[in-house]
Amino acid sequence: MKQIYTYPYEDVLSWESEELYAKRGEYKKLITLIIPTLDEGTEKYRDTLRDTIYETSKLVDAGAVSEVLIIDGSGTKNRPDRNFDRKVIEWAAESSGDFRKQLNYIKNSRNERAMTERFGYPFRYKILNQKHPEYYDKFMEYVGPKVHGFREIRENDIQKGKGSAIRLSIPASNGDILGCIDSDIKTCGSYYCLGLLMPFFRHKSTMVTKASYIRRNMKNEMGGRIKRLVYDPLASAITKKGKFPGIETLGYGTAGEFAFRRSLANKLRLPNDFGLETSFNTQVYHHVHGNLRRIKQVNLGIFEHSSTDVNENRKTGSDPAMERMANNISREWTTAALDTGLDVTEEELYKSYLDEVDESIDRAIKILVYEADVYFFSS
């Protein structure tokens, strides 16, 4: 059976920033961390982002990471939210001694200030805003009107969504290896980033890394509904019909934390909706020609988003965001399967999917019963 190799949680915890610094120096590689942000206007979100910046600063000051590019989508069309962006700069300066020294140097040098006006200064933290009208022109200058043969990129495409944030970050970054982490991870630690980046130096053939974890919601309950009820059953149904063999061994296919080589960057179509991760996975599979040794996943342990509102969903009995996720993921899986010549009707595919859902629910029930037993007997 084809299987994607997973670095165990214990291994990831043992990795040190000094080792990554030494490795990237040995191989003469630059590393960029990309953090897409969108200010929710809540103290909870801002505290979580601030903690994430603090964790990444440990890697920056240790020289393990060359730069952190924070790409913000806050504001309205052509009008960036400068107040939030300034706040992000303040948090970065508070957290990183390296970045703070750079800012002080810029203040005292006219020549260096002139360099910054032309985006020519190698800041350890770069804060860009998708709503800035000039960034679209820069993107088109470096990348062109189409990305890998897909439809023409429009200004509005660049000014919204995580997919566009990553696309815009590529020409604005210097990294040979690009890592991407979300900005609302309550449990984020520097080892998350180390976990995504180190495999490129442990196995030279690595093209992509993906995070794997145990998802918990804010009530300390097993999370990951969209993974268990939509992504995994569709992946299983499609691979059982002979397409994308081995891709179902991704431990958490919908994880938004991943890293990839620059050589792959502009070959990818990155949707701006919840189908991004599914599309990313299937395209990567295509570009490595099904060679799963070029894909690595890392177990990051317990994972929790700061934005999960379990109580509100239970009060209303609905979850519009989850419905959109399900639609977007289903679209990407179906498109990928049919594009590879899967000879089934849509009805046959979704019948197979429902059979897989039943099995997924049975597995989840067994896990919940086991955890309840462990909790009861250990209390």
CATH number, position 168 = 3.90.550.10
β-bridge partners, 223: none
Sign of torsion, CA 191 74 67 284? positive
Highest mean pLDDT pick, 23-27, 55-59, 152-156: 55-59
Q: What average pLDDT does range 137-154 have in this prediction?
A: 74
Residue 316 banded pLDDT, cuts 50, 70, 90: low
Q: Which of 101-115, 159-173, 197-211 has the lowest mean pLDDT?
A: 101-115
Residue 267 banded pLDDT, cuts 50, 70, 90: confident
pLDDT of residue 93 exceeding 90: yes
Which pLDDT tens digit goes with each residue over 103-133? 998 888 888 777 777 666 889 999 999 999 8
pLDDT of residue 378 exceeding 60: no
Q: What average pLDDT does range 56-60 have in this prediction?
A: 98
Q: What average pLDDT does range 136-149 have in this prediction?
A: 74
Per-residue pLDDT at 261: 97
Tell me whether residue 366 is exposed, middle or buried, using C-beta atoms within 10 angstroms of its C-beta: 0 to 12, 13 to 18, 19 or more.
exposed
pLDDT of residue 259 exceeding 50: yes
The string over 126-154, giving b where at least 16 C-beta atoms fall within 10 Å of a residue's C-beta and e elsewhere, is: bbbbbbbeebbebbeeebeeebeeeeebe
pLDDT of residue 135 exceeding 80: yes
Per-residue pLDDT at 348: 84
The string over 89-109, giving b where at least 16 C-beta atoms fall within 10 Å of a residue's C-beta and e elsewhere, is: bebbbebbebbbebbeebeee
Q: What average pLDDT does range 20-28 have in this prediction?
A: 95
Tell me whether residue 298 is exposed, middle or buried, using C-beta atoms within 10 angstroms of its C-beta: 0 to 12, 13 to 18, 19 or more.
buried
pLDDT of residue 283 exceeding 80: yes
Residue 87 banded pLDDT, cuts 50, 70, 90: very high
Residue 314 banded pLDDT, cuts 50, 70, 90: low
How many domains does the chain fold into?
A: 1
Give the range of the structural domain holding residue 205, as residue numbers without chain letter: 5-378
Element (H, E) at 374: helix 346-378
pLDDT of residue 312 exceeding 80: no
Per-residue pLDDT at 221: 60
Per-residue pLDDT at 212: 95
What is the distance between the alpha carbons of residues 307 and 353, in angstroms, rounded to a whole number?
A: 29
Q: What average pLDDT does range 207-222 have in this prediction?
A: 82
Q: What is the pTM of this model?
A: 0.90
Q: Which of 162-166, 173-177, 267-271 has the lowest mean pLDDT?
A: 267-271
Q: What average pLDDT does range 206-219 have in this prediction?
A: 87
Per-residue pLDDT at 224: 82
Per-residue pLDDT at 140: 82
Q: Which of 127-131, 157-161, 250-254, 369-373 has the lowest mean pLDDT?
A: 369-373
- Please, what is the average pLDDT of the chain? 87
What is the distance between the alpha carbons of residues 130 and 165, in angstroms, rounded to a whole number?
A: 7
Q: What average pLDDT does range 82-103 have in this prediction?
A: 95
pLDDT of residue 351 exceeding 90: no
